[in-house]
């Protein structure tokens, strides 16, 4: 059942029934109340069907400006669930605010609701209530961005300390989460820019500085997530380079072993041929062949060492 918060006779009141003669009203529509959206909003202004469809579709963050209201959808990103796809839809007019969260209770809305109701502040206007919703939204986004950054720093330290550890299972999922958060938040910057605009009619001039500050915070969050994503991209390149260098070292070691074994293999092949060799019956032939293999291998090893082929 929708929850109602309204102002009448300069007092903020709360209830579950549609208020009569409300001066300002805030309606919160929660999970399982899809059917209530159109009836509630139509009591406030002649809503366009596109606005209702956009709210029900729960797509990417977006906004729609109508004659009597603006409708926008935000991404409700949970702390620890950076790729969560729940949404918060908002209808804002001169005298009303409607918040819609169909896929779970929203602490972002509830904290703002309780604060406005407790402090009797709805008479400040629906835009003031909206600011407190956005303030809680930004607080959660900051925590999500900070968690991404902390995980990035942890992976960076591990990579420096253990450069040959398999980091791909940790780097790639985090990079995917950072990309998901960035894609969710980028459209919201346009929404915040709209709200702080001087031409936007549903924000009172005395409250506009709040929204300018909120827009600045949103830009900072997006920049922080973008910086984390770019850092992860550089980490992938560094990790790939380290793995490539390690493979090169292994291949170089195997090549050196093969080169050192080649003279001994050649000598053994010559003396193993099935025809008469002058020194084949010599009683020192066995020791001579071993000594020859040893001397040639040591000479080759010394030559490679002198050329610095064994380093790196």
CATH number at residue 46: 3.30.460.20
For residues 215 and 193, the answer to whether their CB atoms sit within 8 Å is yes
The number of residues in the chain equals: 312
Question: Tell me: the pLDDT tens digits for 67-98?
Answer: 999 999 998 876 655 555 688 999 999 999 99
Same domain, 138 and 262: no
Average pLDDT over every residue of 62-68: 90
Average pLDDT over every residue of 1-8: 91
Is 172 or 206 the better-scoring residue by pLDDT? 206
Is residue 311, in this structure, part of any structural domain at all? no
Residues 6+ apart with CB under 8 A from 189: 215, 218, 219, 222
Whole-number Cα distances in Å, 150 to 77, 131, 145, 159: 17, 28, 9, 14
pLDDT beyond 90 at 284: no
Q: Is 72 strand, coil or helix?
A: strand
Residue 182 tokens, joined:
């960035």
Out of 193, 218, 242, a domain closes at: 242
Find the domain containing 152 and state its range: 3-242
Same domain, 255 and 143: no
Same domain, 226 and 115: yes
Same domain, 129 and 257: no
Same domain, 155 and 301: no
Average pLDDT over every residue of 221-247: 87
Residue 279 confidence (pLDDT): 67
Beta strand pairing status for 24-29 and 62-65? Answer: unpaired
Same domain, 188 and 267: no
Is residue 222, in this structure, part of any structural domain at all? yes
Confidence category of residue 257, pLDDT binned at 50, 70, 90: confident
Residue 125 confidence (pLDDT): 94
Same domain, 105 and 196: yes
Residue 104 confidence (pLDDT): 76
Out of 226, 242, 258, a domain closes at: 242
Same domain, 225 and 274: no
Same domain, 147 and 267: no
Is residue 284, in this structure, part of any structural domain at all? yes
Q: What mean pLDDT, rounded, does the chain reach?
A: 87
Same domain, 65 and 133: yes
Is 266 or 273 the better-scoring residue by pLDDT? 266
Out of 188, 218, 242, a domain closes at: 242
Report the domain count for the chain: 2
Same domain, 134 and 41: yes
Same domain, 283 and 213: no
Is residue 312, in this structure, part of any structural domain at all? no
Dump the DSSP string for 194-243.
HHH-TT-TTS-GGGHHHHHHHHHHHHHHHHHHHHHHHHHHHHHHHHHHHH
Strand partners, 150: none
Dump the DSSP string for 243-283.
HHHHHHHHHHHHHHHHHHHHHHHHHHHHHTSSS--TTTT-T
**Strand positions, DSSP E, the chain:** 3-8, 11-15, 24-29, 62-65, 70-75, 87-92, 96-100
């Amino acid at each position: 059942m929708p929850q109602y918060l309204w102002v009448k006779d300069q007092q903020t009141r709360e209830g579950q029934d549609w208020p009569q003669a409300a001066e300002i009203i805030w309606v919160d529509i929660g999970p399982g109340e899809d059917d209530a959206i159109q009836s509630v909003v139509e009591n406030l202004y002649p809503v366009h069907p596109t606005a209702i469809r956009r709210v029900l579709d729960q797509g990417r963050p977006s906004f729609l400006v109508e004659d009597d209201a603006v409708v926008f959808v935000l991404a409700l990103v949970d702390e620890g669930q950076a790729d969560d796809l729940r949404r918060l839809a908002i209808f804002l007019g001169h005298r009303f605010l409607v918040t819609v969260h169909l896929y779970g209770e929203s602490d972002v809305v509830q904290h703002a609701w309780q604060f406005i109701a407790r402090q009797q502040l709805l008479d400040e206007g629906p835009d003031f209530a909206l600011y407190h919703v956005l303030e809680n939204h930004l607080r959660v986004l900051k925590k999500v961005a900070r968690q991404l950054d902390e995980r990035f720093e942890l992976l960076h330290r591990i990579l420096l300390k253990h450069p040959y550890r398999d980091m791909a299972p940790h780097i790639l999922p985090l990079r995917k989460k950072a990309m998901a958060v960035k894609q969710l938040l980028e459209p919201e910057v346009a929404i915040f820019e709209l709200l702080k605009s001087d031409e936007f009619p549903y924000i009172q001039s005395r409250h506009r500085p709040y929204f300018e500050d909120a827009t600045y915070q949103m830009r900072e969050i997006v920049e922080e997530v973008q910086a984390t994503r770019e850092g992860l991209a550089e980490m992938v390149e560094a990790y790939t380079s380290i793995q490539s260098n390690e493979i090169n070292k292994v291949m170089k070691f195997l090549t050196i072993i093969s080169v050192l074994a080649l003279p001994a293999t050649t000598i053994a092949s010559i003396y193993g041929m099935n025809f008469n060799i002058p020194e084949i019956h010599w009683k020192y032939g066995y020791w001579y062949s071993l000594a020859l293999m040893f001397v040639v291998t040591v000479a080759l090893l010394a030559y490679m060492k002198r050329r610095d082929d064994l380093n790196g």
